[in-house]
């Protein structure tokens, strides 16, 4: 960690330990929580279509669209799967940062200060991980999914392939065993819906926790509350939607109403996120704190390319413009009826989601790298 300035200099938090690994963990934590919320909402839409009641007609307009039904199922499965993969890889990134990662397994005994966001976050990560795994199990396995198509079902297809190449081939292989466990443990529909509310609370807490942990460091004005937690929440939900819907696009659901509605929802969240970023920048610019001013300078000087170009331009503004352009072509023209037009629209959706994901990572990276401690006055100097 380098020190610059005079008698009342500031400390840049530029240790490499606070660079890529922690930024990856913060990013994947947000993606995991946002992807789970996306999965839950897509599952709700699928449930409403199955119910065929007045609420489904109000919210969905049409409940007899097979493509919409397929893309809802794909989005729900992709969201739960990405939630599991994201928290798993993010957890590894976090453990790699620790000096003694094995000691993290003793957290139920050692982590007893429940007023600390470090302790709260650790429990949230564990509980969320367990629930996300169960949700993924119930959505990807079960006897009723045998023969079901969809790219999101690749985990069971891999297990089926393993069953097929095993020398002891039998109808009761690994896939059958996991299907049996899924069917035996899957809760009734109403109970499952109630449990998803608990999962939603855990996912939101997971996303917000990553910012609350940083904002506990009160000497860094850049990480102040409530701006950073709000920005991370919006960014986490946005990147989660983008990750799940990117899977839906790859599954062939780019031109469905499911993708279109989620894409517009993501646009609205991005706009709110930009408002939050603007409020944070306004706070920093009006603060007399030297650390706040140094962070602001770093954003528009040292990290100008990453922040202005990566986060603001390519990570938020351009995706919204691209999405609105696609919406106009998709909804008000017959552009998608041409095979080339359909491919361009599909590519446009995929590009938008990839840019949002890149912007989400860069946001957390610059939040870490541009952080500056408040000045420490040294008496007599």
- Pick from 8-12, 206-210, 223-227, 363-367: least confident: 8-12
pLDDT band of residue 22 (cuts 50, 70, 90) is confident
Q: Would you state the pLDDT for residue 16? A: 45
Two tokens, residue 78:
């992709």
The span from the CA of 312 to the CA of 132, in Å, is 31
Q: What is the mean pLDDT of residues 185-208?
A: 93
The helix or strand, by DSSP H or E, that contains position 128, with its residue range, turns out to be helix 117-140
Return mean pLDDT, the chain. 85
The three-point CA angle 359-365-371 to 5° equals: 130
What average pLDDT score do residues 305-317 get? 96
Give just the sign of the alpha carbon dihedral 159, 165, 168, 169.
positive
Out of 50-54, 118-122, 282-286, least confident range: 50-54
Query: Cβ(90)–Cβ(24) under 8 Å?
Result: yes
What pLDDT score was predicted for residue 66? 81
Contact residues for 374 (Cβ-Cβ < 8 A; gap 6+): 10, 219, 220, 221, 289, 290, 291, 292
DSSP annotation of 373 reads B
| Tens-digit pLDDT profile for residues 286-301 | 988 888 898 999 999 9
Convert the pLDDT of each residue in 313-326 to its tens digit: 999 999 999 999 99
* Mean pLDDT of all residues in 257-264: 90
Name the CA radius of gyration of the chain, rounded: 23
| Cα distance from N-terminal residue to C-terminal residue, the chain | 22
**Mean pLDDT of the region 342-371:** 94
pLDDT at 8: 35
Report, as an integer, the average pLDDT of 106-110: 61
Domain boundaries, the chain: 17-142+186-370
- 116 pLDDT higher than 60: yes
Please list, in sequence order, all residues whose beta carbon lies within 8 angstroms of the beta carbon of residue 210, skipping any fewer than 6 positions away.
Answer: 25, 26, 29, 30, 121, 232, 236, 364
Q: How confident is the model at residue 131 (pLDDT cuts 50, 70, 90)?
A: very high
- Nearest Cα to Cα of residue 370 among 279, 270, 271, 284: 284
Among candidate residues 126, 107, 149, the one with its CA nearest the CA of residue 32 = 126
Q: Which range, of 43-52, 86-95, 170-179, averages the lowest pLDDT? A: 43-52
Residue by residue, DSSP assigns 195-207 as: HHHHHHHHHHHHH
Contact of 262 with 38, CB cutoff 8 Å: yes
**Per-residue tokens: 29:** 């934590």
From CA 271, how far away is CA 237, in angstroms rounded?
Answer: 13
The answer to whether 373 and 13 are in contact (CB under 8 A) is: yes
**Which architecture does CATH list for 17-142+186-370?**
Up-down Bundle (1.20)
> According to the model, what pLDDT value does residue 10 have?
43
pLDDT for the residue 299: 93
Residue 5, sorted as left (phi over 0), alpha (psi -120 to 50) or beta, turns out to be left
What pLDDT score does 9 carry? 40
Distance CA 23, CA 29 (A): 10
Whether the pLDDT of residue 359 is over 90: the answer is yes
pLDDT over 60 at 12, yes or no: no
What confidence category does residue 149 fall into, taking pLDDT thresholds of 50, 70 and 90? Answer: confident
The band of 146, judged by pLDDT with boundaries at 50, 70 and 90, is confident
Q: How confident is the model at residue 53 (pLDDT cuts 50, 70, 90)?
A: low
Question: In the predicted model, is pLDDT for residue 134 greater than 90?
Answer: yes
Say which residue the tokens 């040294």 belong to: 378
Higher-pLDDT residue of 97 and 264 is 264
* 304, pLDDT greater than 50: yes
**What is residue 290's predicted lDDT score, i.e. its pLDDT?**
86
pLDDT above 80 for 186? yes
Which has more confidence, 111 or 261?
261
Residue 264 pLDDT > 90: yes
Per-residue pLDDT, 375? 57
Residues β-bridged to residue 373: 220
More confident call, 360 vs 218: 360
Pair of tokens at residue 120: 């709260």
DSSP string covering 148-179, please? ---GGGHHHHHHHHHHHHSTT--SSSHHHHHH
Contact (CB, 8 A) for 49 and 61: no
Please count the CA atoms within 13 angstroms of the CA of 349 that sit on its side-chain side: 33
Question: Which has the closest alpha carbon to 136: 69, 187, 76, 184?
Answer: 76
Nearest CA-CA partner of 256 in 13, 60, 84, 24 = 60
Q: How confident is the model at residue 107 (pLDDT cuts 50, 70, 90)?
A: low
57-71, 191-205, 241-255, 348-362: segment of lowest average pLDDT: 57-71
User: Is the predicted pLDDT of residue 1 greater than 50, yes or no?
Assistant: no
């Amino acid at each position: 960690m380098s020190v610059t300035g005079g008698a009342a200099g500031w400390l840049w938090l530029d240790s490499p330990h606070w660079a890529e690994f922690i930024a990856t963990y913060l990013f994947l934590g947000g993606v995991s929580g946002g992807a789970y919320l996306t999965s839950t909402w897509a599952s709700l839409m699928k449930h409403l279509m199955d119910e065929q009641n007045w609420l489904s007609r109000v919210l969905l307009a049409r409940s007899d669209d097979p493509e919409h039904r397929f893309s809802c199922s794909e989005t729900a499965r992709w969201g739960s799967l990405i939630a599991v993969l994201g928290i798993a890889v993010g957890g590894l990134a976090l453990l790699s940062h620790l000096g003694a990662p094995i000691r993290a397994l003793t957290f139920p005994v050692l982590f007893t200060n429940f007023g600390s966001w470090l302790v709260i976050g650790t429990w949230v990560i564990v509980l969320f991980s367990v629930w996300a795994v169960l949700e993924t199990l119930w959505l990807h396995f079960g006897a009723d999914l045998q023969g079901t198509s969809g790219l999101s079902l690749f985990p069971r297809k891999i297990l089926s392939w393993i069953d097929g190449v095993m020398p002891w081939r039998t109808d009761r292989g690994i896939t059958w065993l996991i299907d049996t466990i899924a069917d035996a443990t899957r809760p009734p529909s109403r109970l499952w819906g109630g449990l998803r509310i608990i999962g939603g609370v855990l996912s939101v807490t997971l996303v917000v926790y990553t910012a609350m942990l940083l904002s506990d460091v009160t000497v860094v004005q850049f990480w102040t509350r409530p701006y950073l937690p709000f920005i991370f929440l919006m960014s986490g939900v946005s990147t989660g939607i983008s990750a799940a819907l990117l899977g839906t696009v790859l599954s062939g659901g780019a031109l469905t109403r499911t993708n279109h509605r989620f894409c517009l929802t993501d646009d609205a969240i991005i706009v709110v996120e930009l408002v939050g970023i603007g409020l944070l920048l306004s706070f920093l610019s009006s603060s007399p704190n030297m650390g706040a001013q140094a962070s602001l300078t770093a954003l528009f000087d040292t990290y100008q390319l990453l922040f202005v170009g990566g986060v603001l331009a390519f990570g938020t503004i351009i995706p919204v413009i691209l999405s609105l352009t696609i919406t106009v072509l998709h909804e008000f023209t017959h552009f998608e009826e041409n095979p080339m037009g359909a491919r361009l629209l599909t590519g446009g959706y995929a590009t938008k989601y990839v840019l949002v994901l890149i912007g989400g990572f860069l946001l957390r990276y610059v939040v870490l790298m541009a952080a500056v401690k408040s000045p420490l006055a040294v008496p007599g100097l």
